[in-house]
Structure 1
């Protein structure tokens, strides 16, 4: 008898086994046809799965749900995401990989030749056409070569910047330009010594200054590019500026910073910290969200940060996760005033992450 996660139940589904509440009462009896309101009731009672009519082959609960999202580092330097590889026919992943390849090619020639901006736009539009399948906390590249970090960060920042612009209610005309801002914000790195970008040990003060010049290099490279607006160029220049003036390269404050740059700053920090680098492991997305919240006090735009956190953590109850201590569980309740610290069911126990501060969600599995 196929089981299905409640979040995947469709109206019209027939139940083939009584649904019992955590306290032992019968919520729905065998044979009931699920109506839209019934799905809300199931979720309110924290029911995780139900058994439905149909053959195993027809079940909407895929076998891939058994796969975890853990990554394995192989000798070639590639990080292979096993659960994402299973989704080999995902149009989103296909277009994502085409976008990464195009960004890599564009970066290689950027210092000597004009950017293929129309080709980049066409592929970006193809990628964004699958945006409904992109979840910031859940998506991961199928294969990630550590030395290609900059290209993955560019594409992920483009997708996330587009979504943030939507979520914050900016005009639709700005959405694609925000995606361009995310895609090209680090283009200036092509003029920085690659050895510095990959250096596994702390940079010296002169090396830090050289790496920081990628912001001005980026603006210079984009200055005469058509099909992008000035906000995209300013995002390359200003995405490391801070609201309190402590950023670089010009120590701008508050309203002096273009809103594209404020959006890209959030997307860039999130992906920079959750992607694997040659010299650093990927960090928990939930810990990164908490750090972004801290940074929103004087460093990052607080409205953008709070909107980003609220939207990305708006997951349905039953979402499967892995905790920092290795245990697997399911989110059963999220307090919107503490969205990074939900209640998680681990086997028969309830873990309240608001109280058990030493624990956190390491990754979302499905």
Structure 2
């Protein structure tokens, strides 16, 4: 067995060892006979060397290449974006946001910079333990950058939800890609419609809905993403009862990535400031998503998202809708968005006091 650089690989070579991503996900199985598309995938995932039979390496390259230790678990190549020890989640988030903004603004005239996007997405996910959908607030935000923040946040939340829901590890990054690119079709929508602060006309609404088919068309020839990512761009507004668009599919025909992004997109769309609507309490949004689970969204995925996102320890400091600050002292699993909160020595039961709700989480243990 010998290590061979992907620069020397040719279609037809058989792998003698599984190939993994830098995050540990299985990329290609041992015994895979490489096709041209596989070579594109290896490059997209920044794989530098793979293991092949020494004899096959000789036959393909004319001479035996020097045996080298695989770099899969070694220091990443210098061209790969790796967070420094002083790098923070916010730092990597901001870098990804700028890259997404640049890619969206040029995608009509140029290819999507998929390698750079994946590289920076992985660098951000290295810090995923620092991210909670209910607590994270971007350092800078304006309404015109909403679509870029929504893309990045949907990528991160979709990565978590795919992990929480028990999908295989190989799906986690693809689900993140699905979140990152779900609204890429908006790049082909007239900005006058996209950023219009007033209600859209029927014709404008119809054009806005075309962003789903535009997105699939943009992604159909992009390498390093799977068909589920492309289908998410097309299907993320479909509903499990068949009432969505553009194809009115029922739940059995909607890809799982699209079901995941359908949830995270609603959550972030309602908790971010937009030109025509101010952000809402994430807890109220979760309650609305819960109601949508009856016929519109996948109920199992909704339950997982709500339970995991609200999984705080007692002592979490929150601000209520009446501006009072208190600590969570008990959470009922049947009502995870409405815990008991201690405010100035008195217990406020949000299940009973429905007029109150948690407006924001200030700090968590």
* TM-score normalised over the length of structure 1: 0.75
Distance in 1 between residues matched to 2:276 and 2:324, nearest whole Å: 26
Offset from partner CA, 1:273-304 (integer Å, 9 cap, x none): 00011221110000000001000001000010
1:303: which partner in 2? 300
Question: What residue is the counterpart of 2:263 in the other structure?
Answer: 266
1:362 and 2:365 correspond: no
SS in structure 1 at match of 2:294: coil
Q: Distance in 1 between matches of 2:195 and 2:323?
A: 30
Pair 1:250-2:280 in alignment: no
1:205-220 matches, cutoff 5 A: 205-220=202-217
Q: Give me the whole-angstrom Cα distance separating, in 1, the residues matched to 2:143 and 2:315.
A: 32
| Separation (CA, whole Å) in 1 of partners of 2:311 and 2:173 | 24
Post-superposition CA distance 1:182-232 (Å, at most 9, x none):
000000000001121221111111110000000000000000000000000
C-alpha displacement of 1:97: 0.1
For residues 187 and 273 of structure 1, what CA distance do their matches in structure 2 show? Answer: 19
Instruction: Write out per-residue CA displacement over residues 67-91 of structure 1, whole angstroms, 9 at most, x where no aligned residue.
Output: xxxxxxxxxxxxxxxxxxxxxx761
Gaps of at least 5 residues in structure 1 are: 1-88
Rounded to whole Å, the distance in 2 between the matches of 1:95 and 1:299 is: 34
- The separation in 2 between residues aligned to 1:268 and 1:90, in whole angstroms, is 27
| TM-superposed deviation, 1:243 | 0.3
Show the counterpart of 1:344.
341
Higher RCO, 1 or 2 (CA under 8 Å, sep at least 6)?
1
Aligned residue in 2 for 1:135: 132
Distance 1:110 1:90 in 2: 28
| Superposition misfits of 4+ residues, deviation over 3 angstroms | none
Q: Number of matched residues?
A: 278
3-state SS, counterpart of residue 365 of structure 1: strand
Q: Could you say which residue in structure 1 is the equivalent of 2:96?
A: 99
1:332 aligns with 2:316: no
RMSD: 0.8
Q: Structure 2 unaligned runs (5+)?
A: 1-85
2:315 maps to what in 1? 318
What's the TM-score, normalizing by structure 2?
0.75
Q: 1:228 aligns with which of 217, 225, 229?
A: 225
Rounded Cα–Cα distance in structure 2 between residues aligned with 1:133 and 1:336: 24
Cα 1:142–1:172 shift into 2, 3 Å: same
Match of 1:144 in 2: 141
How do residues 1-366 of structure 1 correspond to structure 2 at under 5 angstroms?
91-366=88-363
